[in-house]
Amino acid sequence: MLRKTIIIISALLPVSNVFASGLDLRLGKDAAELVYLTESATFGYGGADMGFGLFLNEDDSYLGTASILVSGSGDGDVRGLHFGVGAKFYGGIVDFPSPIDNQTGGSLAIGGQVRYVFPGSTPLAILVEAFGAPDVTSFSDFKGLVELRIALEMEITPSARAYIGYRTLEVEMSGGLIEGDDVELDDKGHIGVRFSF
């Protein structure tokens, strides 16, 4: 399943009107994620942010991700408020100790994010994002998925941001001895950097 997910993500990379935008590296105590970021000019006036990533944790669970987020910003007094809506695909392997076999599957989630840039000379922002997938858009051993994340960002240079945050990522399983169980793939704080180029 992981190999199929990586093949699908690789096939999506050479989309027309897409150019490289950056990398996002996130490290926590028990998990890590690397996301390749692009932008597309084919979605309305503001375009869309696209990401292709790989998540892994210390339990040897792996998820490939592909996301698209159409975003905009407020006017007047709320010009620092940015928001977006979109979809995110998750697919991969959830590892279990014996006697339960590793579970594979995927979920197509919808969600969005809100980012507020604080006024003033200090380049700080707060980000909140959420994605959720029900049973109907999940397949194989996945029955649903929820991801929630909050982060405080600081601009180091015009092309680099550092942040500290917290994320919870849960998958509801549908197979065998773990029917209906929620498996936490991530539930801790993290630090990260996001580079634009």
CA dihedral 93, 166, 10, 136 (to 10 degrees): 60
Contact in structure between 86 and 67 (CB atoms under 8 Å): yes
Beta strands at 31-40 and 48-57: parallel, antiparallel or unpaired: antiparallel
Domain ranges of the chain: 2-196
What is the CATH number that goes with domain 2-196? Answer: 2.40.160
| pLDDT by 10s per residue, the chain, length 197 | 444 444 444 544 444 444 558 999 999 999 999 999 998 655 444 568 899 999 999 999 999 999 999 988 766 556 788 899 999 999 999 987 665 778 899 999 999 999 999 887 778 999 999 999 999 999 999 999 999 999 999 999 989 999 999 999 999 988 655 666 789 999 999 999 999 88
Beta strands at 103-117 and 18-28: parallel, antiparallel or unpaired: unpaired
CA 87 to chain CA centroid, Å, is 10
**Is the pTM here over 0.75, yes or no?**
yes
Eight-state DSSP code of residue 95: -
